[in-house]
Structure 1
Amino acid sequence: MATQVDRLKEDPLRSFRFKVTFGGAGNGDRYKFGEAGFMSVSGLSMTTEVIPYREGGMNTVSRKMPGQSDFSPVNFSRGLIVGEPSMMLWMNDLFDALQGSGGNRIPDFRVNVDIFLLAHPWPGPNPIPLAGWRLLNAWPTSVAFSDLDAGANSISITQMSLVHEGWYFKLNPTIDGSGVSL
């Protein structure tokens, strides 16, 4: 029977509370660069503009209807990415789109990002997701890496911010190759 220490050695993401997958779900596997674990996620919020209007015959009170919604950037802190580091491919495609050097095709750098809030500590061999969010059409606006370590087999991220065009939320999702089960 594996001890807690053995499981930590086998799974470097075990001590993180949030599991994050980039791409894959509806975006193909172009930017799917393994799994990421983060200690902190903030900014999952939205604001909807209020549009007041007057209704005919009812001029004493203004009615209100929803306008355009805006989603705040999501910030990730103290993270670790394990697996293939194709995050650099994601960043290069973003730079190509900004500089217009994508040739005849501007790369689509927007991807869906799945965030899972995990039960902590994990009671068994597999993580239990308590809640899940899918960010739609997300892309990075800032990334800060930790110091480089030649002996490490991972990419440590100090801070990363993603902008996106909306999100879905689900309680008790399942974790599989397609991400949050919506």
Structure 2
Amino acid sequence: MDDLHNLLPAFNFSVSLYKTGGSDRNLIGNGGFAECSGLELSADIREHNEGGNNNAVRRMLGRVKLQPLVLKRGMLVNQTQADGTLWTWMTTMLDGQLPFDRYDGHIDVFDRIGATSFARWSFVRGLPSKLSGPTLNAKTGDIAIEELQIVHEGLRLEVK
């Protein structure tokens, strides 16, 4: 029996962010994200029409376009206040404090029971490009969700 019927679940994943060139001691986020999107690469294809050959178009590879990663999670709190780690990362950059902290990271996708990581996307030299606080609405019982967008300088799928 072939293994093509086994599909990777999209609900069991973990996100880790750590300082570029650092170690897990510099971790600012581990797990805890409810959604992750932006695992995408696209190539800029340029068309070149050859003179005298009206039946063909040559296609040449241009630059790779990297999409921002979009991470969503429930806003975390400790005993006395909300966790402001992501907000501190964004505001120190906006305040012009040099050097900017860049973060590498990886997104691991696990089997249904969480025992084995089957795929890992790794990105390098990430910077926050957008951070959104929760939409507050007293009429619902929804969890406060914050959204972080990270621009990066490279994305790779590491098949385990």
Give the TM-score of the pair, scaled to structure 1.
Answer: 0.59
- One-letter identity of the residue aligned with 1:95: L
Change (3 A) 1:77 1:34: closer
Using the alignment, how far apart are the partners of 2:41 and 2:157 within structure 1?
Answer: 13
Counterpart of 1:90 in structure 2 is 89
The Cα RMSD (Å) is: 3.2
Counterpart of 1:71 in structure 2 is 66
Change (3 A) 1:32 1:76: same
Counterpart of 1:131 in structure 2 is 119
Change (3 A) 1:80 1:116: farther
Give the TM-score of the pair, scaled to structure 2.
Answer: 0.66
1:51 is aligned, of 46, 49, 54, to: 46
Change (3 A) 1:20 1:107: same
1:108 is aligned, of 100, 109, 119, to: 100
Using the alignment, how far apart are the partners of 2:77 and 2:31 within structure 1?
Answer: 6
Using the alignment, how far apart are the partners of 1:59 and 1:67 within structure 2?
Answer: 23
Change (3 A) 1:90 1:34: same
- Does structure 2 conserve the Cα–Cα contact (< 8 Å) formed by 1:143 and 1:161? yes
Using the alignment, how far apart are the partners of 2:121 and 2:154 within structure 1?
Answer: 10
Equivalence map 1:1-182=2 (5 Å): 17-24=12-19, 26-29=20-23, 31-54=26-49, 60-79=55-74, 86-97=85-96, 102=97, 106-122=98-114, 127-146=115-134, 157-172=145-160
Using the alignment, how far apart are the partners of 2:26 and 2:94 within structure 1?
Answer: 15
The count of corresponding residues between Structure 1 and Structure 2 is: 137
Change (3 A) 1:142 1:35: same
SS, match of residue 37 in structure 1: coil
- Does structure 2 conserve the Cα–Cα contact (< 8 Å) formed by 1:17 and 1:39? no
- Percent identity reads 26
Which runs of 5 or more residues in structure 2 are unaligned?
1-10, 136-143
Which runs of 5 or more residues in structure 1 are unaligned?
1-15, 148-155, 173-182
